[in-house]
Chains A and B, each alone.
Chain A
């Protein structure tokens, strides 16, 4: 329904110049996006000699041993497990604490409510990258440096603002009559929260969970400062570390990079709907 569609009313079969331009631009864009990724996946299946002589083109013959080697070693699985552990814990923590806070901030009336909400909203302006060093110093004081728990607490704290900011307006929109009905049925406030409000908030909860998970999954600077033992390394750290450690072995680095992209891509395809929905929701306001 764009302005452009108005002039070329719903598709006759012939290609208008504009449609043609769209396809060309789209194709170009797709190419620019995909080619670097293809390079990673394909060249991960070459030997270093093959890459040096020709980085472009298909592997000939396919050298699967880079992938096979990584898949059979802890170098890949350990950081994958670490990343998953951190991301799951962060997401769970944020969902529980965030939905409770959003419930209080949306369905209760009390003095200072808007002020509290403002405090959370301002948290959105406090970038985690700027906070990394102060967080490191704080965790050092309380003995949580180089622990998964320390990282989880920090990431969850920084994910809370967005969670509350997305959940509160959503919970507000749920009609008050439902609350009345719950009361009539003899439900307690807690039961209303658990049985009515949370299930109804599922789309917003999904968006919030996906955002928290992806943010945690992608975090690099904070764990870089916090973790001294490579046992704790999350996937982004492990990839970067692998690259510096085996700088000469381009093929293995590419295979590692490719493998580490798979979970994010899979997760994205699976959760796309919630992401897109969340963004458009935030924009419409």
Chain B
């Protein structure tokens, strides 16, 4: 696992054998790898330039501009309005509607962890052996994840219409008493959203866990069995701990995803009724875009970014530190 956990590792790895060899004069490589000067610089510029330009121009610049725009009272196009400093940011953070939306994001985060993690893990454990139809099931359960969220949102919107498919199924199974206004009930709507989101993302959790399980060497489990450990004990003491890196990566992706939920909510309820299903992203579109309060909207965008970023750094610092799960974890923080 993480040998040194820092970027120096890359450079030192060469002499140890398997890693990419250090490329300096030392390795005695011929000409073009260390060729001094101009030609190399030109090559590097040509190779890196376009990607950097695109990335800086369309990913980094917007956030910088948004941070700047957020300091102005700017409604509509044309010149920025009057300078307001951090006023917009304060206003957003003090707005009960934004706080409510953020609260909904947190509910979605919690629900994904409490529902998808145990179910995904459990299902992956059950499926991690030769079973008839396993590949088909895996494909099937993963399918919702690759469908455009907008199309599944329209699907659920129609399924959940009063008197629609879901209600009819309940009636057929003698559970008509459970029928609800799934998308219009103030107290229920956020949980309806959670069901929809779980349907869409469960397969991803399961697939990731299955992939992680396949990376666990069978010898370990056989050894445990030889030592007389029960299957239950082996699962808890060996399999799940070894799955740690996978679980932590899934948690990370799931939380960042939950913090920016938009499509499903927007299409099914636009965050309503009465903001009962709003999220930060629907708030952003409603307040920043639809009412053309671009300064205010920019502040919301920056805050959303800040929340994701701070979360990622904290998570990296305290949770992912020991993993070498991909470059993301090695590189950030």
- On whether the two chains bind one another, the answer is yes
How many chain B residues have a CB neighbour from A under 8 Å? 131
Q: Closest residue of chain B to A40, judged by CB?
A: B155
A125/B256 in contact, CB under 8 A: yes
Q: Does A85 contact B (CB under 8 A)?
A: no
Chain A, residues 233-276, CB within 8 Å of chain B (1/0): the string is 00111011001000000100110010011001101110010011
Given known contacts A33-B199, A173-B20, A157 and B260 CB-to-CB distance under 8 angstroms: no
Q: Does A133 contact B (CB under 8 A)?
A: yes
Q: Closest residue of chain B to A184, judged by CB?
A: B30
Residues in A whose Cβ lies below 8 Å from that of B231? 3-4, 6-7
B284/A130 in contact, CB under 8 A: yes
Given known contacts A43-B165, A279-B208, A283-B245, A30 and B137 CB-to-CB distance under 8 angstroms: yes
Interface on chain B toward A: helix, strand, loop, or mixed SS?
helix
Q: What is the CA–CA distance of A224 and B43 in the complex, to the nearest angstrom? A: 39
Q: Closest residue of chain B to A256, judged by CB?
A: B154
B141/A30 in contact, CB under 8 A: yes
Q: What is the CA–CA distance of A161 and B237 in the complex, to the nearest angstrom? A: 36
Min Cβ gap A107→B in Å is: 8
Min Cβ gap A84→B in Å is: 13
B66/A137 in contact, CB under 8 A: yes
B148/A160 in contact, CB under 8 A: no
Q: Does B118 contact A (CB under 8 A)?
A: no
Stretch of A20-28, A63-71, A200-208 lying at the B interface: A20-28
A260/B211 in contact, CB under 8 A: no
Interface size class of A (residues with CB under 8 A): 35 or more
Q: Which residues of chain B in 250-264 are interfacial with respect to chain A, using CB atoms and an 8 Å cutoff? A: 256, 259-260, 262-263
Residues in B whose Cβ lies below 8 Å from that of A184? 30
Q: Which residues of B line the A interface, CB within 8 A?
A: 7, 10-11, 19-24, 27, 29-34, 40, 43-44, 46-48, 50-52, 54-55, 57-63, 65-66, 69, 77, 123, 125-131, 133-134, 137, 139-144, 146-151, 153-159, 161, 163-165, 168-169, 172, 199, 203, 207-208, 211-216, 218, 221-222, 224-225, 230-231, 234-235, 238-239, 245-246, 249, 256, 259-260, 262-263, 266-267, 280-281, 284-285, 288-289, 294, 297-298, 300-301, 304-305, 308-309, 312, 323-329, 331-332
